């Protein structure tokens, strides 16, 4: 996959909010994506990132997914932060989605160092947030650096995605963030497994949809699935929502 070509295609097709006729998607574009990220949180985030950037630890990463294109099994925490975490505007997107929609029950598959987890939590600190990380060493770093900035509403679980999903008790998640196993077939499987644990308005947020051709093919398959009536392409991330009462439509939004 040529990521530059894909970005050009994305920018060519992306719409501003004025070209959107769906009220749901218009509100997402006009109100959610334009939310301000508070200065106080920006400072907290900078402090957390500074600590991780100055870490001298090198950990042995247990890759349960597709692995990394840029790193060996032994990885400095600094490099994991650079390549694997939801930083900048993508972390801010997680915050905005939670701040605007106020999901009460959130699931994250793929904690990594916890930067995404932190943004999800800060968007709605009262929400019940469960974050799953398969690598024991990464999970340890997550608890060491990020865990202290989270409250008791957040559960950080060391488990493979498959093992966790096998034991999942009946409940409905309002937001599901899948970021970890970068394999198209696995992505489709996780979405299918989580369908019974979602409702009509659940936001399925999929990270790295253009990470590989396999992931992009999976995204194209999922957005065509008749169970999802709304699909939104933000280039790096994609959003799926069932909304069966809405006409099926796909949107490419500038972000």
What three-state secondary structure class fits 111?
Answer: coil
What three-state secondary structure class fits 52?
Answer: helix
Per residue in 181-193, pLDDT (tens digit) is 889 999 999 999 9
Per residue in 57-112, pLDDT (tens digit) is 999 887 655 444 444 578 889 888 887 657 789 999 999 999 999 999 999 999 99
CA gap 162, 193 in Å, rounded: 9
Q: Give the pTM.
A: 0.93
Per residue in 152-183, pLDDT (tens digit) is 999 999 999 999 999 999 999 999 999 978 89
Which residue carries 């590989």 as its tokens? 212
Domain count along the chain: 1
- Written in H, E and C, the secondary structure of 198-230 is EEEEEEEEECCCCCCHHHHHHHHHHHHCCCCCE
Residue 106 is assigned to a structural domain of this protein: yes
Residue 163 is assigned to a structural domain of this protein: yes
Range name among 13-17, 20-24, 165-169 with the lowest pLDDT average = 13-17
Beta strands in the chain (DSSP E): 58-60, 74-76, 105-109, 128-133, 154-158, 173-178, 198-206, 230-233, 238-241, 249-252
Residue 219 is assigned to a structural domain of this protein: yes
Domain range enclosing 230: 3-51+87-252
Residue 71 is assigned to a structural domain of this protein: no
* CATH code for the domain of 26: 3.40.50.150
Residue 182 is assigned to a structural domain of this protein: yes
pLDDT score of 70: 46
| CA 12 to chain CA mean position, Å | 24
pLDDT over threshold 80, residue 49: yes
> Strands across the sheet with 173-178, in order?
154-158, 128-133, 105-109, 173-178, 198-206, 238-241, 230-233, 249-252
Which of the pair, 64 or 201, is modelled with greater confidence? Answer: 201
């Amino acid at each position: 996959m040529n990521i530059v070509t894909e970005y050009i295609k994305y920018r060519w097709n992306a719409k501003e909010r004025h070209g959107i006729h769906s009220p749901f998607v218009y509100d997402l574009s006009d109100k959610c994506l334009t939310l301000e990220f508070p200065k106080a949180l920006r400072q907290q985030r900078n402090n957390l990132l500074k600590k991780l950037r100055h870490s001298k630890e090198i950990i042995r990463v247990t890759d349960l997914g597709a692995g990394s294109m840029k790193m060996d099994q032994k990885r400095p925490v600094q490099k994991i932060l650079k390549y694997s975490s939801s930083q900048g505007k993508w972390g801010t997107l997680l915050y905005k989605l939670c701040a605007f929609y106020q999901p009460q029950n959130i699931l994250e598959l793929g904690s990594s160092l916890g930067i995404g987890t932190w943004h999800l939590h800060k968007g709605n600190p009262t929400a019940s947030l469960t974050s799953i990380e398969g690598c024991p060493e990464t999970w340890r770093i997550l608890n060491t650096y990020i865990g202290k900035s989270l409250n008791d509403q957040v559960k950080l679980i060391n488990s493979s995605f498959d093992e966790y999903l096998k034991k999942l008790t009946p409940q409905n998640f309002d937001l599901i963030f899948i970021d970890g196993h970068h394999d198209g077939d696995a992505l489709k499987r996780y979405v299918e497994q989580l369908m019974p644990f979602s409702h009509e308005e659940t936001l399925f947020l999929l990270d790295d949809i253009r990470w590989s051709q396999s992931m992009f093919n999976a995204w194209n398959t999922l957005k065509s699935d008749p169970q999802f009536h709304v699909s939104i392409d933000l280039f790096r991330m994609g959003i799926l929502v069932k909304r069966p009462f809405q006409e099926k439509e796909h949107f490419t939004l500038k972000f």
